[in-house]
């Protein structure tokens, strides 16, 4: 087994050669956002979707644009508004009088990296159209189905402050996001660097495309082979099961505060992203720290709280912190 893990680690070191230049390009634009940059790369490595939540001005949109510019792939930004239609995302049929046939005009979802800005401002019919692309990796226009090219990922943003003119995202769609990230304010030192960088009217740094989509797809195959011990798999199952019944898992202080816990999709995502996190650390095996580092981001949006929890100002993060402190680590 040790020999096999060493072989996997060698494969990881070979396949992760694009990570340092990618981080270099991201760090030229983003200051001190290690948490965000790491998780954006994890989304790229797993091919799954990410939901970013934070107040305006925290570089959510800039970070996604920088990631897309660093990859030799198509990028589209969609500004979600209440009057958006499904055809604005998917595309439509256009009649050609000369040939008497309909041509397909592809919408912005026919790209590799999609930035869905302020996703909660669009109505349910638009969310439904986006859900098919996120879940099935395909788009249906006038009864015709078109597969989406890989890599494909949706990175959505939403503002937690403004609720006027917004629509709550369907639970089925929220569950499709592998990670939900809470973007916080920079430190004073980081904000000073940002202020100094933006004080000059000089030419902005032009991000260079340093990652080929083929490298990403090759990395995914290596990530699939990364070793995770059965005890760690049981640890993931125990964590997810504890979100469904905190009282039965020595979390009596949170009894009656969880209406619905995480689904089996949480276990699948946590297993996959733990492997990707190990890949980012250039390891051919998963350790408990990988699971604990990324677990909050995988689970926080999959827990539906009761009115009792809201009345006592208990958040999903509060419950998850207690859960990670209580569940025994193998």
Residues 88-112, mean pLDDT to the nearest whole number: 85
Same domain, 201 and 254: no
- For the cut 80, the answer to whether the pLDDT of residue 69 exceeds it is yes
Chain segment 188-201, per-residue pLDDT in tens: 888 888 888 777 66
Domain assignment of residue 233, given as a range: 228-326
- For the cut 70, the answer to whether the pLDDT of residue 38 exceeds it is yes
Least confident of 20-24, 130-134, 167-171: 167-171
Least confident of 97-106, 122-131, 199-208, 223-232: 199-208
DSSP 48-110: -EEEEE--TTSSHHHHHHHHHHHBTS-EEEEE--TT--HHHHHEEEEEETTTTEEEEEE-TTS
| 6 assigned to some structural domain | no
Split at pLDDT 50, 70, 90, the class of 248 is low
Same domain, 86 and 171: yes
Same domain, 192 and 253: no
Residues 178-186, mean pLDDT to the nearest whole number: 89
Same domain, 258 and 133: no
Which CATH number do you get for residue 94? 3.40.50.300
Q: Considering the entire predicted model, what is its pTM?
A: 0.89
Residues 79-107, mean pLDDT to the nearest whole number: 86
Same domain, 192 and 44: yes
Same domain, 256 and 317: yes
Chain segment 286-319, per-residue pLDDT in tens: 999 999 999 999 999 999 888 888 888 888 888 8
Strand 144-147 with 138-141, pairing: antiparallel
Same domain, 47 and 161: yes
- For the cut 90, the answer to whether the pLDDT of residue 265 exceeds it is yes
Same domain, 176 and 300: no
| 2 assigned to some structural domain | no
């Amino acid at each position: 087994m040790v020999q096999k893990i060493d072989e996997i680690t060698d494969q990881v070191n070979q396949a992760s050669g694009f990570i340092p230049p990618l981080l270099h390009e991201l760090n030229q634009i983003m200051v001190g956002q290690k948490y965000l940059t790491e998780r954006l790369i994890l989304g790229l490595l797993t091919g799954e979707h990410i939901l970013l939540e934070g107040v305006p001005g925290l570089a959510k949109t800039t970070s996604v644009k920088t990631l897309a510019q660093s990859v030799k792939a198509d990028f589209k930004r969609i500004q979600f508004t209440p009057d958006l239609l499904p055809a604005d995302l998917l595309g439509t049929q256009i009649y050609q009088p000369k040939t008497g046939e309909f041509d397909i005009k592809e919408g912005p979802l026919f790209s590799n990296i999609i930035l869905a800005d302020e996703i909660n401002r669009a109505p349910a019919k638009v969310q439904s159209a986006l859900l098919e692309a996120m879940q099935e990796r395909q788009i249906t226009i006038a009864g015709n189905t078109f597969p989406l090219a890989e890599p494909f990922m949706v990175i959505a943003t939403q503002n937690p402050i403004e609720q006027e003119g917004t629509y709550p995202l369907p639970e089925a769609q929220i569950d499709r996001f592998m990670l939900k990230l809470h973007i916080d304010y920079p430190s004073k030192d980081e904000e000073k660097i940002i202020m100094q960088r933006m004080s000059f009217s000089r030419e902005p740094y032009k991000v260079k495309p340093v990652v080929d989509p083929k490298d990403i797809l090759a990395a995914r195959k290596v990530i699939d082979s990364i070793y995770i011990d059965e005890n760690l798999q049981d640890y993931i199952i125990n964590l997810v099961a504890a979100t469904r019944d905190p009282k039965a898992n020595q979390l009596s202080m949170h009894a009656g505060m969880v209406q619905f816990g995480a689904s089996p999709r949480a276990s699948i995502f946590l297993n996959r992203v733990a492997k990707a996190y190990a890949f980012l650390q250039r390891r051919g095996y998963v350790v408990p720290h990988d699971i604990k580092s990324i677990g909050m981001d995988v689970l926080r949006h999959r827990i539906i709280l009761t009115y009792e929890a809201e009345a006592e100002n208990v958040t999903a993060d509060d419950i998850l912190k207690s859960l990670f402190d209580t569940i025994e680590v193998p």
